[in-house]
Amino acid sequence: MTPGIGPETGAFRPLRVLVTGASGFVGGALVRRLAADARFEVLGLGRRAVDRADYRVLDLSAPDAAERLDGLGFRPDVVVHAAARSSPWGTRAEFERENVHATRAVVEFATRQAARPRFVFVSTASVLYTAGDQLDVPDDAIAGPRFVNEYAASKYAAELVVRDYAAEWVVLRPRAVFGPGDTTLLPRLLAAARRGSLPRFRAGRAGPAMSDLVYIDTLVEQLVVAATSPAVLGQTVVVTNGEPVPLQETVFALLDRVGVPRPRRTVSRGVAIWLATVVEGAWRMSRRSGEPPITRYSVIVYATSKTFDARRCRELFGPPVVSVSEGLDRVAESLVPTTDPRMIS
């Protein structure tokens, strides 16, 4: 599916793309990329207000979300569904509502269209996570039946909804998206380091924990390919930069660059997971609001190896447009203050 000649007029018509989650990191970056390209006409949706003419506020977890989508009057050729509750913490009902029911509403909207659009679903590699080290995991590995948390379980349930869509679909499973503007991965680790609550984890038997990452610009271009290429139809693919890094040392190097002290307290992964389990239990028992200071999911993501076989990703999407090294440079530059505080009187 590519931009081209409109059947009614014979004139060039841009590809109409509806992007959900456009107030978030991934969806917002994709909207900006498409809006700058004359081959596309884009409309972004999200729950928060955004000052853009090509954006509308719409809560996809509302009971009448499909009707509200239809009422926008925008008839897309492609839907990129990036909206999600992506927190490592929440109730099963919250994840069900915001990830599964919301996906079902967008699929229902797409099904109602006279010309059903291609459906590109932004899932997560965490549907394949276990609590231990995972190296070079095939991206077609079977997910479940047990998942590391409610977030992963709900995203896999949403994948099943997308696969039942009776038209073109693609499922991408990004692994650890990062870049300037991210509010989830590196900023959480930096905030923990500033609070003094980020530990130094002992290396496991196989050595330091290795991690695949995907830089935001690389993921955005992968989404553009997913929206336009026939080669990806019906595919479920883990998408990464294909450049695994020792995550803890990578984070420590970033701390050095932004002037945050490295953690001194050393713990084992087993102790951290045990502590997180206890804290989560206490949080639920006391019905406290907000996210606990430590979760099992956060420990698993940071302290265990998670790398994937990137060959099919490279075959379908080509090499990364920005390397992990360059991406980390950009993140560091975005986090360093542009004004030296010593110059402020």
pTM higher than the cut 0.75: yes
- Report yes or no: 223 and 215 within 8 Å, Cβ to Cβ: no
For residue 195, the surrounding DSSP H or E stretch is helix 186-195
Asked if the structure places residue 296 within a domain, the reply is no
* Token duo for residue 261: 């002290």
User: Does residue 254 lie within any of the structural domains?
Assistant: no
Task: State the residue range of the domain holding 110.
Answer: 4-178+214-240+307-324
For 208, other C-beta atoms within 10 Å of its C-beta total 17
Residue 201 CB: number of other CB atoms within 10 A?
A: 21
* Burial class of residue 111, CB neighbours in 10 A (0-12, 13-18, 19+): middle
Q: Residue 167's pLDDT is what?
A: 97
Q: What is residue 4's predicted lDDT score, i.e. its pLDDT?
A: 52
- Which phi and psi angles does 207 have, rounded to 5°? 100, -165
Q: How confident is the model at residue 295 (pLDDT cuts 50, 70, 90)?
A: confident
Q: Cα dist. 279→129, 270, 282, 288, 291 in Å?
A: 21, 14, 5, 11, 10
Res 345 pLDDT > 70: no
* H helix and E strand count, the chain: 12, 17
Question: Which has the closest alpha carbon to 334: 259, 258, 256, 248?
Answer: 258
With b for 16 or more beta-carbon neighbours within 10 A and e for fewer, the 321-330 pattern comes to bbebeebbeb
CA nearest to 135, candidates 241, 203, 237, 210: 210
The answer to whether residue 107 is domain-embedded is: yes
Q: Cα separation of 325 and 280, whole Å?
A: 35
In a domain, 289, yes or no: no
- Pairing type for strands 55-57 and 12-13 reads unpaired
Query: Which CATH number goes with the domain that contains 61?
Result: 3.40.50.720
Look at residue 9 and tell me if it is in a domain. yes
pLDDT tens digit sequence for 167-190:
999 999 999 999 998 988 887 888
Q: CA nearest 336: which of 178, 180, 188? A: 180
DSSP assignment letter at 100: I
Contact 147, 211 (CB under 8 A): no
Q: What is the pLDDT of residue 5?
A: 43
Domain tally, the chain: 1
Q: Which pLDDT value is given to residue 151?
A: 95
pLDDT at 344 over 80: no
Altogether, the residues listed in the chain come to a count of 345
Distance CA 148, CA 153 (A): 8
pLDDT at 3: 62
* Rounded distance between C-alpha atoms, residue 99 and residue 47, angstroms: 14
| Lookup result for tokens 């948390």 | 149
Assess if residue 46 is contained within a domain.
yes
| Tens digits of residue pLDDT in 102-161 | 999 999 999 999 999 999 999 999 999 999 999 999 988 889 899 999 999 999 999 999
The order of strands in the sheet holding 245-246 is 134-137, 306-308, 210-211, 245-246
pLDDT for 7 equals 47
pLDDT of 197 over the 70 cut: yes
Shortest CA distance to 330 belongs to which of 338, 340, 322? 322
Please check whether residue 72 lies inside any domain of the structure. Answer: yes
278 domain residue, yes or no? no
DSSP helix, strand, coil percent of the chain (3-state; round to 5)? 40, 15, 40
What pLDDT is recorded for position 196?
86
DSSP string, 106-145: HHHHHHHSSSPPEEEEE--GGGG--SS-EEEE-TTPPP-S
